[in-house]
Amino acid sequence: MRAASIWVVVFWMAICSGWAQETNVAQTARKGHDLAAIICANCHVAAADQRFMPVLNPPAPSFETIAQRPDTNADSLQKFMTTTHRGLDHPKGMPNPYLADYQITQVVAYILSLRK
Ligand code: HEC
């Protein structure tokens, strides 16, 4: 009897921690969405509900498109965002957005959440 109730508690804790992790990921992605709609939306269609269309013409690839690419993953996004792709040889490349690590985590979670 006692062993059975311990298992019930263990099982319950496992369910709760899984649920907490899921809401955590959703919250992180939500923050990434808000950040992207402010910082990245000047050049990308970063979110379907962004208030203004990008000023960059033609715009950089939309985040939805980037999310669907088979070679897009947390690592590739993180690497891309921590480097500069603009230079004399590539004047239209993306400048380094200089995000803090936690902001990169949020934006990466957001972009990956757009994967269908
Ligand atoms: C000043 C304009 C500009 C801003 C602001 C900008 N980007 Fe970009 N981004 C570009 C351009 C242009 C490209 C096209 C690829 C390149 O750099 O050669 C690009 C490409 C990308 C790619 C890779 C797409 C691919 O083809 O693989 C990712 C990921 C990305 N941007 C994420 C972001 C995120 C996240 C932000 C906001 C934190 C952001 N960008 C802000 C201009 C911008």
> Consecutive sets of 10 residues in the chain, 116 residues long: mean pLDDT of each?
81 81 89 97 97 95 98 97 90 93 98 97
Specify the residue for token string 């803090």. Answer: 100
The reply to whether ligand 1 has any atom less than 6 angstroms from the CB of 85 is yes
Separation of CA 23 and ligand 1 centre (Å):
28
Nearest residue (by CA) to ligand 1, atom 6, is 40
Both tokens of 109, joined, read 């979670």
The best mutation among 42, 43, 82 to test binding of ligand 1, ranked by most ligand atoms within 8 Å of the C-beta, falls on: 43
The reply to whether ligand 1 has any atom less than 6 angstroms from the CB of 16 is no
What local confidence, expressed as pLDDT, does residue 15 receive?
A: 83
What local confidence, expressed as pLDDT, does residue 84 receive?
A: 87
CB atoms within 10 A of CB 111: 24
What local confidence, expressed as pLDDT, does residue 1 receive?
A: 64
Specify the residue for token string 């994967």. Answer: 115
Alpha-carbon distances, residue 57 vs 47, 53, 60 (angstroms): 17, 10, 8
What local confidence, expressed as pLDDT, does residue 2 receive?
A: 80
- Pairwise CA distance, residues 48 & 111, whole Å: 12
What local confidence, expressed as pLDDT, does residue 73 receive?
A: 98
Is the CB of residue 44 less than 8 Å from the CB of residue 55?
A: no
What local confidence, expressed as pLDDT, does residue 22 receive?
A: 76
User: What is the identity of the amino acid at 6?
Assistant: I
- Pairwise CA distance, residues 83 & 102, whole Å: 16
